[in-house]
Structure 1
Amino acid sequence: MQEEIEEQNKYALITGGSRGIGRAICIQLAKDSKYRILINYRSNKNAAEETLREVVLAGGQGELLPFDVVDAESVNTSLDQWQENHKDAIIEVIVNNAGITRDGLFMWMKPEDWNEVINTSLNGFFNVTNRLIKQLLINKYGRIINMVSLSGVKGTAGQANYSAAKGAVIAATKALAQEVAKRNVTVNAVAPGFIATDLTSDLDEKELKKMIPANRFGTSGEVAHLVSFLASEKSSYITGEIININGGIYS
């Protein structure tokens, strides 16, 4: 009975969980784990509520947790308030998924397009993880999973800002993993290639799949299965890794 109560107080937080890969991760974790799902979103409440409905349909439980990962004060205020309302709860899994793109050739890139992308992926990772990691270390268990990208691994023309942001998170993943491994906290990154989501709907899939050995775009569900494994106890000896899921594209 006590173990059941403890399980009910364990949560997985997915930033940018309202759509696309984030939504798929929320649903998969609801299916595969006993974690309650915290669905973070910035502005699209309707999409977040739809994700929550799908989490419940998948047999899970969850709640919405709105904040902007870029705004450290907003992150801290929201998480402090949540913890105040859930005194015995622990966020045991952190999936840093929030990210945006502002593509364009570097020579014409506006400073705001550079800064917004860096702030969301890199500073967003810091703001959320830095606020929560102490609890993981105290409890001597945790899973931190950073969603990066093929662009961060090999670089993509027209995405210097996105490649820089994701590349920095990759480096931070490797460094942080070494700091916290002795406390049974793993830190890994998942680097998707071309995945069929809203973000890639404008791309020429027919042309692009010629460069993919698997000859197709991946699905958000395939990415979510990988994240779900990394969030589980079964992945306890994997840390500091950048796992590509890209149909065979390599730099």
Structure 2
Amino acid sequence: MSINVAVFFGKETADLDTRFIRAYADLGFEVQLHPELTLTESSASGCIYLLVTKTPPHFLRLAPDLPLLIMFGYGVHKRQKKETRSRQWPPRGVGGYSYEASSRSSAGRSDAAGAMQIVSMAILAKETEGHFYVDGDDTARTGDLAVQQAVLELARFDRVYFDADVHPFESWPPVNGSSTFRWPPIIEPPKSPIPTVQKRRTLFRYKFSWLHVPGIVLITYFLIVTLLYS
């Protein structure tokens, strides 16, 4: 199932690209934006590209040393002064806003791309003091609440490989929408589930052996004799 997200930027849009990267750092990531892209302008490709060079230490990784290339749909436009509102849009909870950004991911996306899409859009809502809206919700959320809930999307990666089905980073894709680009092969997920190690409980540290039987019999004999004649 695809995910459709809209963010309505507040007034705090200055130096947004830098603050976006810093917000990811606060969550334990090191990311970079495509050098030819900015978060307040759409690209011809209609996508955002992120280079992920570090993930939180508790994340499961198949190839922990490989940088990753994450992509998801992204478009943004500045609100016009005479732009009209309808009963359906913007959604309930949204007041004044400066930009409207939208993002859509495909149904076949990796787990990492889906999570990074939600987290990225939530960060934009928070950093601009705007609002975050997922298609199908009754009302938009504040940026602070959106980030709190988006972080829950990351909780799965202590039991699911973050880099499964993700392309390793080799070079930046073109953003002009016309040039060809050869994507590197994805990092293949394991065919078997992640093994879980269960500790065996032992009630006694003594390890029994049949070689001990004669000694046990002899000790038992002397104990019985001692009890009978005492």
Using CA pairs under 8 Å that are at least 6 residues apart, name the structure with larger relative contact order, 1 or 2: 2
**Structure with larger Rg:** 2
Indicate whether the TM-score tops 0.5.
no
Q: Which has the larger share of helix?
A: 1
